[in-house]
Amino acid sequence: MAHINAHYNKLAAGYLFPEIARRTEIFLEKHPGTRVRKLGIGNTTEPLTPAVIKGLKAGVDKLASPETYTGYGDEQGNKLLRERLALYYTERGVSLSSEDFFISDGAKSDSGNIQSIFSSDSIAAFQDPAYPVYVDSNVIAGRSSGFNKDKEEYNNFVYMPCTKENNFIPEVPDQKVDLIYLCSPNNPTGAVATHDQLKSFVDYARKHKAVLIFDAAYAEYISDPALPKTIYEIDGAKECAIEINSLSKFAGFTGVRLGWSIVPGDLIIEGTTPGEVRKLWNRRQSTFFNGASNIVQEGALAVFSKEGLQESKNLVQYYMENAQTIREGVESVGMQAFGGINAPYIWLEIPSGLTSWEFFDKLLLETGVIGTPGSGFGPAGEGYFRLSAFGHHKDIKAAVESIKNNLRL
């Protein structure tokens, strides 16, 4: 008799964003005709840029002729793309080999899959709140014995609270852990870790032979030159950190799908020699994944052309103008807002003692605006609410106007 993977039954809730969509649908059934404005999931809205479209078309054209047709590609990803990515990091003063790069269909899959190469009894630590994939994938892998309803936490996991008091960047764990998930710029809080803060994690990881899993999907939203855009800006990080990144938010690839993970040859953990962990990830990927689409990889190469980079930076600028509109708008009605300066998410403190989901309902009812309840990202997110800066200018402005005119605080 077949049985399901019972670890799925331990998941405390449905995946966050479908849950928001479900509740929105119910709301619309009850309030037909309401104009809803979506600032919930961070979903890009602006078209792919001309350089990328040209790259994608070139990728299609290559498939049209026997001389240039390609089938399965290099398992780690198009060599030219990996070399271009390595060069992109070199330009930021970080030296990595193209062999350290693994092209994928996005940061979400890599964030979920990376835990599979580590021992099932690894102790995992998470920023709280955090992008739900890190926690959920470790629950599914069996690293938690279940959800503790009183504490709103999964057993066996180490939560690193990100609070107003620590500017939403946690301290290193005060116990020994094996895997540490970090995301900077942070989804959902919009906080960005400094060099010193990241250095404390690198020092911790090297001391305990732990691995940092560093999600840098929003790195291109950093405009402050003093803030690190990659974990490898920190000395010693190549020995202890895996970085995950993506073109979703930089170049509008949310639906196109292209990401990469960096597993440096220098990375060592308990009982391994240099190169072993990288080899393991290669083994995992070549077993479960046949590579990102060759057309999409051509599009990705175009992102890193001179024009492509400039156009993508303009795209980031476009969304950051929204972030400013949102931040100024919510502050003008007296709410306390965080993030939105070097990140496309604005993290609001909810006034008047409402829970995050109660505020979700209130905001939707009074203003038609959909956001994301902070508690959906973890227990420390309770009392907070995330607004996403991804949207057309006119829609974001209309949402902010509606908040200003209709929200009763």
Judged by the rule CB under 6 A, the positions of this chain that interact with ligand MLT are 41-42, 108, 131, 187, 388
| Bridge partners, residue 102, by sequence | 261
Find the shortest distance in angstroms from Cβ 37 to ligand MLT.
Answer: 15
Find the shortest distance in angstroms from Cβ 95 to ligand MLT.
Answer: 29
| Identity of the residue, 127 or 388, whose beta carbon is nearer to ligand MLT in the bound complex | 388
| Identity of the residue, 172 or 341, whose beta carbon is nearer to ligand MLT in the bound complex | 341
Dist. CA 135–CA 127, nearest whole Å: 10
What is the edge-to-edge ordering of all strands in the sheet holding 158-161?
A: 101-104, 259-262, 241-246, 211-215, 179-183, 124-128, 158-161
CB-based contacts of 237, cutoff 8 Å, min separation 6: 198, 202, 212, 231
Find the shortest distance in angstroms from Cβ 150 to ligand MLT.
Answer: 27
Are 95 and 233 spatial neighbours (Cβ–Cβ below 8 Å)? no
Find the shortest distance in angstroms from Cβ 11 to ligand MLT.
Answer: 17
Which residue's entry shows tokens 């010193």? 196
Query: Among candidates 165, 166, 162, 167, which has minimal Cα distance to 129?
Result: 162
| Identity of the residue, 131 or 154, whose beta carbon is nearer to ligand MLT in the bound complex | 131
| Identity of the residue, 144 or 388, whose beta carbon is nearer to ligand MLT in the bound complex | 388
| CA distance readout (Å), 379 to 165, 305, 406 | 16, 42, 29
- HEC letters along 301-333: HHHCCHHHHHHHHHHHHHHHHHHHHHHHHHHHC
Find the shortest distance in angstroms from Cβ 208 to ligand MLT.
Answer: 29
Give the dihedral of Cα atoms 38, 365, 350, 386; nearest 10 deg: -10
Find the shortest distance in angstroms from Cβ 41 to ligand MLT.
Answer: 4
Find the shortest distance in angstroms from Cβ 187 to ligand MLT.
Answer: 5
Q: Which residue is closest to ligand MLT by CB?
A: 42
Dist. CA 48–CA 284, nearest whole Å: 31
Q: Hey, what are 67's tokens? A: 């001389």
Helix (H, G, I), strand (E, B) or coil at 186: coil
Helix (H, G, I), strand (E, B) or coil at 359: helix
Phi, psi of 178, rounded to the nearest 5 degrees: -105, -40
By DSSP bridging, strand 345-349 and strand 369-370 are: unpaired
Which residue's entry shows tokens 């002729």? 65
Find the shortest distance in angstroms from Cβ 106 to ligand MLT.
Answer: 8
| Identity of the residue, 118 or 131, whose beta carbon is nearer to ligand MLT in the bound complex | 131
| Identity of the residue, 184 or 388, whose beta carbon is nearer to ligand MLT in the bound complex | 388
Find the shortest distance in angstroms from Cβ 346 to ligand MLT.
Answer: 12
Are 112 and 361 spatial neighbours (Cβ–Cβ below 8 Å)? no
| Identity of the residue, 247 or 295, whose beta carbon is nearer to ligand MLT in the bound complex | 247
Find the shortest distance in angstroms from Cβ 65 to ligand MLT.
Answer: 36
Query: Among candidates 208, 195, 197, which has minimal Cα distance to 94?
Result: 195
| Identity of the residue, 127 or 294, whose beta carbon is nearer to ligand MLT in the bound complex | 127
Q: Hey, what are 140's tokens? A: 């599914």
| Identity of the residue, 42 or 308, whose beta carbon is nearer to ligand MLT in the bound complex | 42
Q: Hey, what are 274's tokens? A: 């240099």
